[in-house]
Structure 1
């Protein structure tokens, strides 16, 4: 069951050619812990460019990381973020905002949101590329696991806004079901303590904040909110980890201006 759920999670969260069977999908939707477990696989893949940190210039490593994120994870989650950006700038009730999210037209809110997050991710990656090699890899891995933990948090705490992917993921889950995803993400939080621990906490904070916003503005959580949580939590986790590393005693000694 766990292995099937992991395959299903990878099939949804990445472009890897696995987990596209109905059995894997059903196992995934019933197992919130599959989110952070898949994050370890995705995180290990997108962290590969940072193995060249110190050999290649930091901007080159950061650029390769951005490319790896797109190649490994695709654009589905970014599309959710764009839709959420459009909904955020609409003046109206939850139903009107959800209608905007279904519109295929890309608005100013989508462009601004995507641009800001992409810029933040690039700057975060540039800062991570200047960390010691093993620390950089650990931070990127923890940020990716944290991004998936944010989605698991929504799956356990959220209420569906309408029928769709969101309601499928939320069906049957309760707040107590978050314990297992938290435990699954725990090892990543210890890789470069305390930086990676702060990254994990920041990811959950993003999910909790986004869940509250979605309840007020959208009437609950839908598929686009899940995608946005992934993208927002990743960039926030990267910056939180780098800031923590820089502010600790050993981080100050290791940091090179």
Structure 2
């Protein structure tokens, strides 16, 4: 059965990559959470998509040039004024502590394709192991060198390269870098690619699928997971397919 991953949490309705978005994704019965990590000036792993804080918070500047203390003063819900009180950028450790007692899976995306954060993989692996979550975490990245490094450091934690361009026989490529999954842009996929990959033992998790018809097509194709901003919509589509 296909799984539904909430992209940056329930980001269709709540501030992306925040604890409230993750909590609401759980309430929406998502099977997993997808999130992004960057590293602060003082080496803390924080959950935020962009290299700069400008788009999603009340602040400005690069994450790598701000301390964790400075990052925590920012409001990640400033665009939701009147609806939400101040919401902080979470630390990865804060999130892992929250997810541990749940049944959720987590896809942690290393945002290190623009800046190479030294030690990012090591720090993430140490935290995942500390919380006993190795079997419930997937590491992904557009930086495939990072994916290979993650596998070498922690072969017990699943890895999956992200793709925004087409790759010939992506299941062969995934196997070559010891990944057990691929996370392509959903526009690159058709049922043949999905079936060939899944039959080869490579899980396909497509991002970011918010269109009802596209969700239905991918779910009917036997995909392992879809990554969506709207887990409620995806769950509704899945329920309808089960009942037909």
| Range into which the TM-score falls when normalised by the shorter chain | under 0.3
Structure with greater helix percent: 1
Structure with greater strand percent: 2
TM-score, scaled relative to structure 2: 0.26
TM-score, scaled relative to structure 1: 0.25
